[in-house]
């Protein structure tokens, strides 16, 4: 899969074409992506693909923020840090596959009514439903509600790259010649709750440390960002290993989460 192309075309979709259904082949491909999604962080994560009847008893409610979608990816995970990171890391892989297929999706953590979704998910108590992702063909024109939501959440605005990613210390930006630079650009474009971009990174030689703002939603966003960093890094021809943060320099107000060392 061309991860970089999928990252570059990725966008949040909230309005879908209800008259254009997913084919059996598309459903099978998405299910294969769910089954093969992995994470270096462990934890307890469950991901399911489910179709709802838009006019029946199982009509999903997203408080008007999503329209026309009958298929949803449902993500459940435990309370701990590793599970939240892995949830983001895994759902990013599936989302990028969905975009590479010409379909749309959008991850949602609090703008849905949980009852019907939870009943359909059937997750055990250890992995409660926390994220839903509509899946389908984007409508030709987004609704006014989608435009307003996009604007309200600041989805088109990003913090400056040089205010988030540093080299040597927290005063100097990452050089464009660094092997980490392009993967960090792809991390920079990753979605996050309310577009907070809850991540920072510090490059030290061939090693990079990642930091996050405390909070579960920040961890999910961190997982998505780390996935876009990692898979673009691999596609650019680099290899390496995830590591701990026992030697991570302190960054006030931010928690070190993980590190990655390039080995090539």
Q: Indicate whether this model's pTM tops 0.85.
A: yes
Helix 81-100 vs helix 216-235: angle between axes, to the nearest 10 degrees?
50
**Domains plus CATH for the chain?**
3-141 (3.40.109.10), 161-262 (3.40.109.30)
Give pLDDT tens digits for 11-59: 889 999 999 999 999 999 999 999 999 999 999 999 999 998 777 555 6
Give pLDDT tens digits for 140-165: 866 544 444 444 444 456 799 999 99
* Mean pLDDT of all residues belonging to the chain: 88
Please state, in angstroms and rounded to a whole number, the distance separating the CA atoms of residues 237 and 222: 23
pLDDT attached to residue 152: 44
Confidence of residue 110 (pLDDT cuts 50, 70, 90): low
Average pLDDT over residues 213-232: 89
Average pLDDT over residues 112-130: 79
Query: Does position 60 have pLDDT exceeding 90, yes or no?
Result: no
Which has the closest alpha carbon to 45: 6, 82, 20? 82
119 versus 72: the higher-pLDDT residue is 72
pLDDT attached to residue 56: 59
Most confident range, picked from 141-155, 212-226, 243-257: 243-257
Query: Does position 253 have pLDDT exceeding 80, yes or no?
Result: yes
Q: How many CB atoms lie within 10 A of CB 110?
A: 11
DSSP string, 32-66: HHHHH---TT---EEEEEEE--TTSTT----TTS-
Q: Are the beta carbons of 148 and 31 closer than 8 angstroms?
A: no
- Supply 191's token pair: 């979605």
Please state, in angstroms and rounded to a whole number, the distance separating the CA atoms of residues 142 and 12: 11
pLDDT attached to residue 63: 58
Which has the closest alpha carbon to 219: 9, 113, 77? 77
Query: Does position 187 have pLDDT exceeding 60, yes or no?
Result: yes
151: Cβ contacts below 8 Å, ≥ 6 apart = none
| CA 133, chain centre distance (Å) | 10
pLDDT attached to residue 145: 47
pLDDT attached to residue 156: 53
**Helices (H) and strands (E) in the chain — how many of each?**
7, 9
Confidence of residue 192 (pLDDT cuts 50, 70, 90): confident
45: Cβ contacts below 8 Å, ≥ 6 apart = 39, 75, 76, 77, 78, 83, 86, 87, 90, 127
Query: Does position 178 have pLDDT exceeding 90, yes or no?
Result: yes
């Amino acid at each position: 899969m061309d991860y970089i192309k999928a990252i570059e075309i990725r966008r949040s979709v909230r309005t879908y074409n209800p008259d254009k259904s997913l084919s059996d082949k598309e459903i099978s491909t998405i299910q294969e992506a769910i089954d093969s999604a992995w994470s270096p962080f462990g934890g307890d994560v469950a991901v399911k693909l489910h179709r709802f009847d838009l006019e029946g008893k199982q009509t999903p409610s997203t408080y008007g923020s999503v329209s026309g979608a009958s298929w949803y990816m449902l993500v459940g995970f435990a309370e701990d840090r590793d599970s939240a990171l892995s949830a983001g890391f895994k759902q990013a892989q599936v989302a990028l596959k969905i975009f590479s297929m010409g379909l749309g999706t959008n991850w949602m953590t609090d703008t849905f009514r949980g009852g019907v979704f939870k009943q359909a998910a059937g997750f055990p108590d250890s992995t409660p439903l926390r994220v839903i992702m509509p899946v389908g063909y984007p409508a030709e024109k987004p609704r006014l509600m989608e435009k307003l939501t996009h604007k309200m959440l600041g989805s088109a605005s990003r913090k400056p790259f040089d205010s988030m990613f540093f080299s040597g210390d927290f005063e100097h930006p990452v050089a464009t010649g660094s092997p980490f630079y392009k993967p960090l650009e792809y991390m920079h474009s990753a979605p996050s709750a309310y577009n907070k971009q809850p991540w920072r990174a510090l490059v030290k030689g061939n090693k990079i440390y990642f930091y996050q703002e405390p909070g579960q939603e920040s961890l999910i966003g961190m997982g998505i960002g780390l996935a876009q960093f990692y898979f673009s890094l691999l596609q650019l021809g680099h290899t390496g290993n995830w590591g701990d943060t026992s030697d991570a320099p302190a960054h006030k107000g931010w928690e070190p989460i993980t590190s990655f060392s390039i080995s090539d």
